[in-house]
Structure 1
Amino acid sequence: MSKPRLSLQRSGLAALPLLAVLAIGACKREPAELAGAASEPAAAVRQLAHHVRANDLVGFARAAVPPAQYAQLEIAWRENRSRWPLTELPLEDKLAPMLAVLAAKDSERRLGRQFDSQFARQDRDLKAAARSLGLFGVQYVKNEGNYTTEERDHYAQIIRALGEWAEEAPLGDPQHADVTITRLAAAARKTGLTSEQDLAAAGMEGSLRRLSPFFAEAKAVLDNYGLPLDASLADLRTGLVEQKGDKATVRIHYPLAGQEIDTVASLELRDGHWYLSDYLRHVEQVLAAPAPVIPAVAELPANPAPPAR
């Protein structure tokens, strides 16, 4: 009687790999493409997402605006009149000071002490702050600021999703903080960009090239906190809603922090290529600015003595 039992066991074991493949296939399905995914406007948006996922900030900037504007932006950057495309990020005017703080000598110890005294294990307060900031942020982009209707809808969805993520993320965990500070400090030092003078001297393309590894490290840190931005970009889908002449509307759908972001964006055809209308508008505003919008010299205040652990 033992032989049939052994035969049955062997047959069951042999079937395990097949069952595993079937189970994986049943649990993870590729999202269906949106209507009009093969259109040029929809492909243009996916190309931008591809550059961001690849940490190719130079490639993103080149694909986001026509060549003539790109050349003008390089000049404006060196003249401290522009920091585009960094201005598409929140708190872009704090980038150089942040890099300076992270790159400073012994920043790991000083920032670690500051975290311990202000945030360590303050999970309840941090969750409450995240909730409040999320609510305020959604209301702000819906009613204030110089945003298009498309931007207001998109940003509100992003802020809502990030607010819910922040309420669950281990923001007060000292071990996570130590890893984050160590990684970002090392990456900041490698950029060699710790002032507005450094950014101007490196130029737009040079600065973006040197910032790309730091950008990659920042994404990796967020992944460690449960916010995998590369996974969101990998699952981004686009489709064509409407195309009339040199104008098009594209639907954009991607997951973010457990939420499904679903929005639309307008594009314009320039010299045979499609570009996001919002980016074109932002760049035109930057280039039309009559005076420098970024100070040539930015002095950082002296760091106060950190409290003792």
Structure 2
Amino acid sequence: MPTRRTPAARVRRHLVWPLLACLGLAACQQPAGERVPDVPAEAATRPVDAVYLLRDRLLARDGAGFARLAVPPDLHAQLGQAWREGRSRWPLDELPLDAHLPAMLAALQAPNAETALMASFNRQFAHADRDIDQAVRTLVVFGEEYVARDPSLGPDERAQTLQAIEALGRWAIQAPLDDPARAHRFFTALTAAARRTGLDGQAGWPALAALGMTQSLNRLSPFFATLLAQLRQQYGLDLDATLRGLDVRLVEQTGDQARLHLHYLLAGTPVDAELRAVRLDGHWYLADYVERAQRSLAGPAQ
């Protein structure tokens, strides 16, 4: 007999996790009329620019450029080869639940997906504002407890993640997540965007491996663009505003190591964080990105 999902589990599966996912990587299509800096020929020459250059690539909706500037050239080449061999998914594995990306695309690409998604929404969420709010509060507590115990997180990353969970929880409680008209527009836009990628979600990760890292990121870019646009238009979550308001300051530099302080507003809530930067071959990179990219080479990805 199937297990009945709790309200928190339903919100986590159908609403909240997809919203969290877009915080990890906003590599997507450039909005019409918005001018952003061209991709630099080289990575950062100052510690603070290790953040600002990546921020500019996110605002430019340039996933391939983000990947190129986030790691040294030799590591980028190794990642491209590992991607083609199915051993790495970086930088997509910076996203929460990255392993479910093909399944999400497949669900959105299915015949009559809009109708099926709306039927599920109407059964479980429509006009259930009080139940959704309680489920969000439960999910925030669950997320905070999980992050507090996660041994893979360092102190700085843990502190920033906890602040982000709290900010997104406040936003989700205020957002009209139970509105059927908004959900219909959201699902209609996402299903169309998933089909336009030209990626076969049912084929899974081998399809992306065959395309290679750069082409896969380029194919996914418009899909992530649509997701972010719909979050802003339907639910008031403006992640571009978060990126544009980002303030980065150098805390200390010792040789090829530096610590940076970040301040930004996430859904109106201030978040402060510290990140490590490292200088490699004369250029600065965020240490966590470099380390996770290096670890991804040890695949195969599961």
Specify the TM-score bucket, using the shorter chain as the normaliser: 0.7 to 0.9
2:156 paired with 1:150: yes
Aligned to 1:137: 143
Q: Check the 8 A contact 1:78/1:200 in 2, yes or no.
A: yes
Pick one of 239, 245, 261 that aligns with 2:255: 245
Aligned to 1:76: 82
Alpha-carbon deviations, 1:28-80, whole Å to 9, x = none? Answer: xxxxxxxxxx9811122011111112211111111111111111111111222
Pick one of 223, 237, 245 that aligns with 1:214: 223
Structure 1 unaligned blocks of 5 or more: 1-37, 295-309
Letter aligned with residue 288 of structure 1? A
- 2:134 & 2:251 partners in 1: Cα distance? 39
| Count of residue pairs brought into register by the alignment | 255
Aligned to 2:240: 230
SS of equivalent residue, structure 1 residue 147: coil
2:289 paired with 1:283: no
Structure 2 unaligned blocks of 5 or more: 1-43
Query: Structure 1's 183 and 145: CA in aligned 2 closer, same or farther, altered over 3 A?
Result: farther
Q: Check the 8 A contact 2:193/2:222 in 1, yes or no.
A: yes
Q: Check the 8 A contact 1:150/1:265 in 2, yes or no.
A: yes
- 2:161 & 2:259 partners in 1: Cα distance? 17
Normalised by the length of structure 1, the TM-score is: 0.80
Aligned to 1:92: 98
Normalised by the length of structure 2, the TM-score is: 0.82
Q: Check the 8 A contact 1:84/1:283 in 2, yes or no.
A: yes
- 1:106 & 1:198 partners in 2: Cα distance? 23
- 2:131 & 2:84 partners in 1: Cα distance? 42
* RMSD between aligned residues: 1.4
2:206 paired with 1:197: yes
Aligned to 1:293: 301
Letter aligned with residue 171 of structure 1? L
Letter aligned with residue 54 of structure 2? L
- 1:265 & 1:271 partners in 2: Cα distance? 20
**1:16-55 to 2 correspondence within 5 Å?**
40-55=46-61
Q: Check the 8 A contact 2:45/2:282 in 1, yes or no.
A: no
Query: Structure 1's 288 and 198: CA in aligned 2 closer, same or farther, altered over 3 A?
Result: closer
What is the percent sequence identity of the aligned residues? 49
Q: CA deviation at 1:214?
A: 0.8
Q: CA deviation at 1:286?
A: 1.1
Q: Which has the larger radius of gyration?
A: 1
2:116 paired with 1:110: yes
Q: CA deviation at 1:145?
A: 3.6
- 2:288 & 2:148 partners in 1: Cα distance? 17
Aligned to 1:184: 190
SS of equivalent residue, structure 2 residue 252: strand
Q: Check the 8 A contact 1:101/1:107 in 2, yes or no.
A: yes
2:279 paired with 1:273: no
Give the 4+ runs in structure 1 shifted more than 3 A.
Answer: none
- 1:185 & 1:154 partners in 2: Cα distance? 32
Letter aligned with residue 127 of structure 2? R
Letter aligned with residue 211 of structure 1? L
SS of equivalent residue, structure 1 residue 269: strand
